Amino acid sequence: MSRYLVAALAIGTALAGTLAAPAAASAVKEPVKEPRILSDVKLPAPDLAAFEPGIVQNSRGVKLGGVGSGLYPAGRDGEYWMVTDRGPNGEPKVNGEKRRTFPVPEFAPAIVRVAVRHGTARIVRSIPLKKSDGTPITGVSNQSGHDEAPYTWDGLTTLPYDPNGLDTEDIVTDGRGGFWVVDEYSPSLVHVAGDGRVLARYVPKGLGLTGAGYPVRETLPAIFASRQQNRGIEALGISPGERALYLAVQSPLANPDKKTGKASGIARILRVDLRTGRPTGEWAYKMEDVAAFDPAAEQGDMKISALNVLKPGRLLLQERTDAVARLYTVDLRKATDLLGGRHDDPATTPSLEASLPADVTVAAKSLTVDLAAIDGLPGKIEGVAVLDPRTIAIANDNDFGVGTFDANGRLVDTGIPSRILTIRLPRPIG
């Protein structure tokens, strides 16, 4: 584990060193009073059949996208690890019913290394996720009754469930050539080897996911299986000193039901031991009131999409709607540890999500960066990486450009690009 810690520290040192020049240059100018964009690049968008030859047979005109679901420094100046989500998907209405469609069901969610230099970005490596035997997985729904039924591009024909399918989101490196990613389906934490093979998938206790072609281990609290549809774990950060990962659910759990989850403002943060995949702490986090955050949205539109560990027990966490995003410094040290207590029991009434009890102290938080106040930022920001105390990088999720499909099943692209932006802050993140 010492190699892991040395690698993590080396990455941090290298990034700080490579970003020292912009800081020195700004010192001779007017003091920076507001965040400013240092760079803004569009990512390449090859056709999916060219991006995953031998895997994708019919792209339906869909290009690479969704890579802003996660963003993590790759150890060299201007290089990042990113991860796609489950792949192109839609939600058209068919006979008055919304259906989850997979226009390219064979697409394998992928880890992508991107290099940003001289105002351009290029893909330097792509790693499709795989089962233990090396065959690619898909991003298709896992379980009937727990996940949405999968359909073809037009919503008319059902597809088979795939217990291997992952709706991958945030990403960090493991310090040993591999990765950790989080998933929205189970929800789950997934350990991935450097070649893309899934080493282990950690899911809620009692989930009963069978038939996967890689190890599945039930270690997470059972209550996490009550996630809202498409609102599983989307934020992930690593704490080398604690040998731990911090995870956050995207939205409040549907505990005891969907209506409660949509109206609730209480999300959960979990700490997991790197060596065992077992939780070591759990805390309540109070999200912002949407009426003040984004008056055009509803409370159910509030999401947590990114998390960085600043130091043990202190996080930089992003809250967002599709239009508005802000970063908060979060302190867990005086918050109530819920792990294994009555609020992990679905029989507890009222639930934590329905009514915050007086004996539960939520995590302290303070606004650190108002991304919504920076002109020119894209919508649906999901990836956030801290490069040094005064520099961050962000990435958007463009949903693979999925808009509508023509009569021949070819995509009519939204034209929204995937972007990475580097932002200089007026004050250090602490």
Residue among 169, 179, 429 nearest 310 (CA): 429
Can you give the pLDDT at residue 170?
Answer: 98
Q: Output the CA torsion 224→230→235→236 (10° steps).
A: 70
Give the three-state DSSP class for 143.
Answer: coil
Can you give the pLDDT at residue 18?
Answer: 35
Q: Rounded distance, CA 217 to CA 209, Å?
A: 9
Can you give the pLDDT at residue 430?
Answer: 78
Separation of CA 282 from chain center: 19
Can you give the pLDDT at residue 117?
Answer: 94
Pairing between β-strand 100-101 and β-strand 120-128 as defined by DSSP bridges = unpaired
* Domain-wise residue ranges, the chain: 2-424
Q: Is the dihedral of CA 145, 347, 183, 320 positive or negative?
A: positive
How many Cα atoms are found within 13 Å in the side-chain-facing hemisphere of 196? 22
Residue located via tokens 């918050």: 335
Give the three-state DSSP class for 381.
Answer: strand
Can you give the pLDDT at residue 23?
Answer: 38
Q: What is the CATH number of domain 2-424?
A: 2.130.10
CA angle 96, 402, 169 (to 5 degrees): 100
Can you give the pLDDT at residue 33?
Answer: 75
Can you give the pLDDT at residue 31?
Answer: 55
Can you give the pLDDT at residue 9?
Answer: 36
Can you give the pLDDT at residue 11?
Answer: 38
Residue 284: CB atoms within 10 A of its CB come to: 23
184, 190 Cβ separation under 8 angstroms? no
Mean pLDDT by 10 residues, the chain (430 residues): 41 37 42 85 98 98 97 96 98 95 98 96 98 98 98 97 98 97 98 98 98 98 97 97 97 98 98 97 98 97 98 97 97 98 96 97 98 96 97 98 95 98 94
Can you give the pLDDT at residue 388?
Answer: 96
Q: Rounded distance, CA 162 to CA 36, Å?
A: 44
